[in-house]
Amino acid sequence: MLTLTDVRKTFNAGTINERKALNGVSLSLEEGDFVTIIGGNGAGKSTTLNAVAGVWPIDSGSIEINGKNVVGLPEHKRAAFIGRVFQDPMTGTAATMEIQENLALAKRRGQMRGLGWGITKKEREEYHELLKTLDLGLEDRMTSKVGLLSGGQRQALTLLMATLKKPDILLLDEHTAALDPKTAAKVLELSDKIIEENHLTAMMVTHNMAAAIKHGNRLIMMSNGRIIYDVKGEEKKHLTVDMLLQKFEEASGSKLVNDRMLFSKDDTE
């Protein structure tokens, strides 16, 4: 489904700010895989997701989606295959547009946009039903501007938008980190549900190790722009947070000194 082969990316090459963010990342996802990604700050987790999404061109390596090498495609063209939810709830939606208009934009991801209506009556009905499933009362506020929604509501909407047109890959970058614990848990649950119901292939970055263990069928750990640990299936099910911490020390030769991770051992991020 998604294959990364020796992907490398250096930011600000040749300057004093040079930063090797990806040092040969290779990874292969099967259809329906749900991978959680953990690692310290600056490990390259977001950079990996951005490389897949095509936010900037990579330096070398290849990225294949459904057997098609996409490294030559700019971000907006790659969007045809990819749904994304970001850490900042502001990033994923257009605040000055209506809820239903945001959904209509997402519905046409990867399609030619012409001079047909931006949203049709039939769509409105469809979105009404769809919003009901969120159980946030948004179905009665379809013509409200998205800017009026709370962070959690916006993330739930973004999740819906990212999956409205079934993506080949769903990329979630700490999409619950900016939410309060209760809302975060709800959005996480919703993500699980959507991924399962639509049999999506997904990558989810999180700083919450318990969540990383609990969700998905595969877990990878990154450090210094590399994947240092990759575990799936039964083995993943039996992981504990302590085992992960130990693995990190073994693999990277340093302690995972990251207060955010230590504080988020429980399931409440």
Partner 1 sequence: MGNIIDRIIYVVTSLPNTLPGTVSQGLIWGVLAIGVYITYKILDFADLTVDGSIGTGGAVAIILIANGVPMWVALICAFAAGCLAGLITGLLNTLLGIPGILAGILTQIGLYSVNLVILDGANKSISVDKFSLLLSSRRVAVSGGFSVFGWEIGKAIIIVAVIIAALYWFFGTEYGFTIRSTGCNANMARAQGINTKKSTVIALVLSNGLVGLAGGLLAQYQGFADVNMGRGAIVIGLASVIIGDVLGTAIFRKRFNFVARLSFCACGAIIYYLVLSIVMLFGLPATFNKLFSAVIVAIFLAVPYLKKSSKNSYRRAARNSLKAKLLNMETEEKGAADNADAD
Binding site for ligand ATP (CB under 6 A): 11-12, 19, 21, 39, 41-47
Asked whether position 47 contacts Mg ion by CB under 5 A, the answer is: no
Pick 50 or 93: Cβ nearer Mg ion: 50
Euclidean distance between the first and final Cα of the chain, in Å?
29
Q: Per CB under 8 A, does 141 bind partner 1?
A: no
- List own/partner pairs for 117-124 with CB under 8 A and 24 or more apart: 124/100
Region class of 199: left (phi > 0), else alpha (psi between -120 and 50), else beta: left
95 binds partner 1 (CB under 8 A): yes
Is residue 67 close enough to count as binding partner 1 by CB under 8 A? no
* Amino acid occupying residue 169: I
Find which of partner 1, ligand ATP, Mg ion, none residue 92 binds, CB within 5 to 8 Å per kind: partner 1
Under rule CB under 8 A, residue 77 binds partner 1:
yes
Residue 76 binding partner per list Mg ion, partner 1, ligand ATP, none, with a CB distance cut-off of 5 to 8 Å that depends on partner kind: partner 1
Instruction: Considering the complex, state which of residue 107 and residue 265 has its C-beta at the smaller distance from ligand ATP.
Output: 265
Give the burial class of 241: count Cβ atoms within 10 A of its Cβ; 0-12 exposed, 13-18 middle, 19 or more buried. middle
Site membership for partner 1, residue 151 (CB under 8 A): no
Radius of gyration of the chain measured on its C-alpha atoms: 19
State the binding partner of 105 from ligand ATP, partner 1, Mg ion, none, CB within 5 to 8 A by kind: partner 1
Please give the Cα distance from 177 to 230 (Å, whole number): 23
Using the rule CB under 8 A, is 68 a contact of partner 1? no
Q: Would you say 94 and 102 are in contact if contact means Cβ atoms under 8 Å apart? A: yes
